[in-house]
Copies of this chain bind each other. A is one copy, B any other.
């Protein structure tokens, strides 16, 4: 058996799509909504006001919960769960980027399932339902708007933990994708988003087992599009064309399309290697991925060089796998992303690499990866390579 494709999320795409929010909420039976958002940019841009007016005009009641930060915190999730209960909320509307969406999903799981919401993230309990969630996306990056995943950081422990859960209950009911809402995204966040988008496809591309050729070719197409349009968005932040293409790449990169027909969901080692950095150091996720990918790629290349050859030919017309890795790094640098850990502003020596590697494997309790299975020692070496040691 190979994996299938299940994306029940209704996507509303285009300029002004957020004017259909109330219509979507009605379609999915919402009557009292928790509007969940971040640290204020949706207020500054006037988006929150417009959305709230859209709801009010349609007679839909709502309660606000802002304050989501990058690497969203379980402490705020707990507040949201309380609010859902005390306010009689029957639908959660996330307005923001991936962190806001992931936080909203966590609130949904916790409010539906009761008990300690962190249980779902550390694997103690399975998600068995959710309060329905919808999204208005303001940042192209995580793909959370159509993916089955949610990543939360537990800020109540020392060290803090960053953990993800994947479940079809995480597929939001609707996602409103208006590329214009990303015009105000900074150059740095635009680049971080571009890397994250590319990595969701690259992580799926690298896996053991036969690949569906069509899925590979769709992956190359997506990667080429990000490489084409990210620089345009940096040059002209208000290019609808650039923002629209990047936004849709972000969604398709993580909704499962790029693994359909393959025997498994990919490698995901880079995400786990990066999560350890961003959980501990509040590194931007996309920058962290750019910083470690090249080292990971060089470390695992020998497992199946032909897979790298196909990638290089498909994306760059480059048949030398080592050069292909270099070309990805060159692209990352061209959009202002670091390609080593030092570029993240971190000074990692042997001790830091060892600690981080043990963090990734939960102190040797697990391995990661699929293309090449990695243990603590492997991960340590990758961190060392990424630190220039």
Contact = CB atoms under 8 A, between A and B. Distances in A.
A244 interface: yes
Interface string A238-270: 000100110011000000000011000000000
> How many chain copies?
2
Given A1-B17, A8-B8, 11 more contacts: A1-B16, A2-B15, A4-B10, A5-B11, A213-B225, A213-B241, A213-B245, A214-B222, A214-B249, A218-B221, A244-B261
Contacts of A225: 213-214, 217
Contacts of A221: 214, 217-218, 220-221
A7 interface: yes
Contacts of A228: 213
A12 interface: yes
A12 to B, nearest CB: 5
A220 B16 CA distance: 28
Contacts of A14: 1-4, 261
Nearest to A224: B217
A266 to B, nearest CB: 16
A212 B248 contact: yes
A213 B214 CA distance: 19
A21 to B, nearest CB: 13
B261 A13 contact: yes
Contacts of A220: 221
Contacts of A5: 11, 13
A6 interface: yes
Interface string A15-27: 1110000000000
Contacts of A217: 221, 224-225
Interface in A194-220: 210, 212-215, 217-218, 220
A239 B247 CA distance: 36
Contacts of A218: 218, 221
Nearest to A210: B241
A258 to B, nearest CB: 12
A213 B232 CA distance: 13
Interface in A149-186: 177
A250 to B, nearest CB: 11
Contacts of A215: 248
A14 B244 CA distance: 33
Nearest to A171: B8
A214 B245 contact: yes
Q: When A and B form their complex, which 8 residue pairs have the shortest distance between CB atoms, in order from nearest?
A: A2-B14, A8-B8, A5-B11, A4-B11, A4-B13, A1-B14, A214-B245, A6-B10
Interface in A261-304: 261
A13 B218 CA distance: 17
A218 B5 CA distance: 17
A4 B251 CA distance: 12
Contacts of A7: 7-8
Contacts of A224: 217
B214 A248 contact: yes
A224 B314 CA distance: 13
A245 B261 CA distance: 9
Contacts of A261: 13-14, 244, 248
Contacts of A212: 244-245, 248
A4 B12 contact: yes
Contacts of A177: 4
A360 B123 CA distance: 59
Contacts of A3: 13-14
A261 B178 CA distance: 10
29 contacts: A1-B16, A2-B13, A4-B10, A4-B11, A4-B14, A5-B11, A5-B13, A6-B10, A6-B11, A8-B10, A11-B260, A13-B260, A13-B261, A14-B261, A212-B244, A212-B248, A213-B225, A213-B228, A213-B229, A214-B221, A214-B222, A214-B225, A214-B245, A215-B248, A220-B221, A221-B221, A244-B261, A248-B260, A248-B261
